[in-house]
Chains A and B, each alone.
Chain A
Amino acid sequence: MNLPFDHIRMFRRSGVIKPAFIREPLGILDTLIAVFKDHVDKKRGPLNETLSDCEHLGYDFRMVRGIASVLEARSVFQSRSSMSPLEARRQVFTEAASRVVASKDERLAVLEAVAARNGVSVAELDDSLYADLDDEQYLVSFRDIASEELMKQYNYANMIALLAYSLRLEIYYRGSDDYLEHQINRLGKATISGKGRIKAVIELKSTRRLSQRASKIDEIMRRVIQKEGWSLRANIKYPQRYKTVCVFDINNKDGGDLISVDEEENETIIEIGLTKKKEPKYGDIVVLDDVARLKGVITAQIKKEIKEEGTRYRDLGGVLVTPEKHGEIKDGLAKLDTLGEAQRFLKEHGVSDFLAVLEAYGYQVEWLRPRGNSKIYRL
């Protein structure tokens, strides 16, 4: 994962840039873990308020928010409502429209009338009213973590966010890895050389699609840091308006012990309880470039709309998939052999740009004629 870009913390001096790593388990790590644990079974609104208060504990607010976003990725939020929030609102507001509700008794009378009609309790109806708002979702589970591990995962996320501003990456690692090479080639203009010790050089252009780039770099780095004798040199232009390109170096001995990834990383999943699930505006699978081109806007605009809509997606680098669809697609594709089958399968899921989706899932195509007989495989 990567931190939101406005929470990046770094040092820069004499042409050298370094992410500001946390080097020892600070008290704030334990505090924030405790905050998340204390808020299990409580609404997101109060959790957010407590997290805002934690920004005044004397630490850099970007660090506090950054750690919180790492913890949020370990959380599952869920809407709880006994009836559809939209229907609850419609009925309650209609019932209340004929009078002015200014006192608790008047309010209760309206809620009682609507609750009785729908066979729910007043409390359930009250809870359902705005259950579809972010702040009203419940934190239903939180995967606990030790503060030292959290520190390392925060450092990793901070590093990945900074690496998204790279113009050149030079990566060394031992042992060939076809999947990794594939991911490296997807990132930019890459040259891979060497046998025992592999050297990969990736030239990148400055981009506005930072999230997309960060998720691709994340895919690469989470594999690289598992390798022996790995090292990375990045030429970083951060922020983009900054004229000087600075160098960042890290390897398995120097700095490598300060980072780690969450092996079980899942998206923050929002499950809609009993309510009817709202259909995502752009469907379960979104090929960003495709949708942006159709709408005549930049992909960031689509991402912004999606963020506002509140639908959670897994970012596969240019392709967004809802968590529930992700498993289905992944498993479905694993059973298929040919491009024609994949095309049909993805078409059934509403995908027109099926090659982009195949690429996002790490598939390669061995082209044959007719095209539909081409073999697909994942290294």
Chain B
Amino acid sequence: MRILEYSRGRILIDGDPVYLDQLEPMNSFPANLYYRIIEHLDSSNEPYRDRAGVFLKTPKLETTFKLRDYQVDALKFWTKANCRGIVVLPTGSGKTVLAVKAIEEQKCSTLVVVPTIVLVEQWRQVLQQAFNTPVGALGGGQEDIEPITVSTYDSARLRAHKLGNIFKLIIFDEVHHLTAPSNRRIAERYLAPKRLGLTATLQKAEAPLLILEELVGPTVYELGVTDLAGSHLADFTVKTIRLPLSGAEQYEYNRQYDIYRDYLKSRKIKIRSPRDYLNFVKRSGRDPEARRALTARNAAMDIALNSSSKIAYLKQLLKSNPSEKTLIFTSHNKLVYTLSKELLVPAITHQTPQEEREEILSRFHSGDYKRVLTSRVLDEGVDVPDASMAVILSGSGSNRQFVQRLGRILRPSPGKEALLFELVSAGTAEVYMSHRRKQR
């Protein structure tokens, strides 16, 4: 009779080796293949003893949370897929509630893995409130294990060898983080047969999507912001405003961008993908000319992203919408602070102390502050109070970032129509970036 054991992120089989898809039968597998080994052994009717999964016992789990129709569908599809898969729902559409219901239905020990320490606290509060039971936390100095535990990606990875076999269900919040090579190890080392991935944006073109499918499961349900706008999310309008650079800015932009372009041309380098760009950046470490070209490109983009006409337009926008709760997004911290000093608007960046950040968000929530400036820290991972208007002064070409930022203004309220202004410098590479971030 075979005996299954869990040891430091692997399933060890004492007895005859098992053949899954490999070239040869094996006695040791990554822990994430636990469910397949069990399926295989069950279907072959061969006797075995499972000492690998030592799942924690859960208290009675009941909640009064109610699901919306699309959440019911999402949960149904996930359950049908053997409780393995990814649910894609826009920001503000209730992914956390869906996870709570999944835990309630499965009634098993659960590890929720989240990207930041702030989110550990947010999830913990929601779960404690939902089930009225203590919820463990890992990360930020906390090491408290309960049948339902919330952990950061980092802590889950570091403790995988100890905790890998005590949770039956693992929920990955912002599951796209799992594609990072170091984070993949979490999914590989935990044997949890039931897995739920949650995200607002899953890029179709991403190569690691296949890996995600193997580690968590296929995408079982997907809705975009447009699917829910007007019903469960507020109606919204995205206005892309193309603004010309001033004469001096345009001259300097062209001068700098030409240095970059001429270098690429002279070395016959073509930038067709992020990898090509990365190779160019690497080259700049050893080639002074490449370094010059890189800094020239950065200087050109600085001009395009932070142009004076954008600032002027922003002032106009704020003047004409004085009562709208507005989030202003930029790419650069420097611009955040310049604008904060000029417009006397509170700012949140990675440098903002946690206490001050919480105070600003709480005052924004209560309406004491009508406007908040931020760089990229509020794109995801922080529960941002609802706003009705957002202005993207500058951003990357990432569709994920665009969708996350849009999601910040979509919490519904009667008669609300959210406005997202995207300010783009005409005649610059930013036009292409703007086009790219709105493509899926």
Interface residues of A (CB under 8 A from B): 55-56, 58, 60-61, 86, 89-90, 92-97, 99-102, 107, 110-111, 126, 129-130, 133, 135, 278, 294-297, 301, 308, 310
Contacts and interface: CB of A to CB of B under 8 A. Distances in A.
A77 to B, nearest CB: 16
Top-8 shortest CB links A-B: A96-B344, A102-B315, A93-B346, A100-B318, A101-B344, A295-B141, A100-B322, A97-B369
A129 B346 CA distance: 11
Q: Which of A90, A96, A102, A294 has the most CB of B within 10 A?
A: A102
Interface stretch (B227-235, B287-295, B430-438): B287-295
A308 B341 contact: no
Contacts of B346: 89, 93
Nearest to A110: B344
Contacts of B369: 93-94, 97
A139 B318 CA distance: 37
Given A102-B319, A297-B155, 20 more contacts: A61-B291, A92-B344, A94-B363, A96-B343, A100-B318, A102-B318, A107-B342, A107-B344, A110-B344, A126-B341, A130-B340, A133-B337, A295-B139, A295-B140, A296-B154, A296-B158, A297-B158, A308-B350, A308-B351, A310-B351
B143 interface: yes
A19 B138 CA distance: 43
A296 B139 contact: yes
B356 interface: yes
Interface residues of B, number: 36
A243 B295 CA distance: 32
20 contacts: A56-B292, A56-B295, A90-B359, A93-B344, A93-B345, A93-B369, A94-B363, A96-B345, A97-B368, A100-B322, A107-B343, A107-B344, A111-B344, A133-B337, A133-B351, A135-B334, A135-B337, A296-B138, A296-B159, A308-B351
Given A97-B369, A100-B318, A100-B322, A296 B344 contact: no
A212 B157 CA distance: 24
Given A107-B342, A296-B155, A100 B319 contact: yes
Contacts, number: 76
Contacts of A126: 341
Contact of A101 (B154, B343, B359, B368): B343
Interface string B278-292: 000000000010011
Interface of B: 138-141, 143, 154-155, 158-159, 288, 291-292, 295, 315-316, 318-319, 322, 334, 337, 340-346, 350-351, 353, 356, 359, 363, 368-370
Contacts of A61: 288, 291
A96 B339 CA distance: 13
Nearest to B346: A93
A310 B340 CA distance: 21
A265 B127 CA distance: 52
Contact of B154 (A95, A129, A135, A297): A297
A107 B342 CA distance: 7
Contacts of B344: 92-93, 95-96, 101, 107, 110-111
B141 A99 contact: no
A130 B341 contact: yes
A96 B342 CA distance: 11
A158 to B, nearest CB: 16
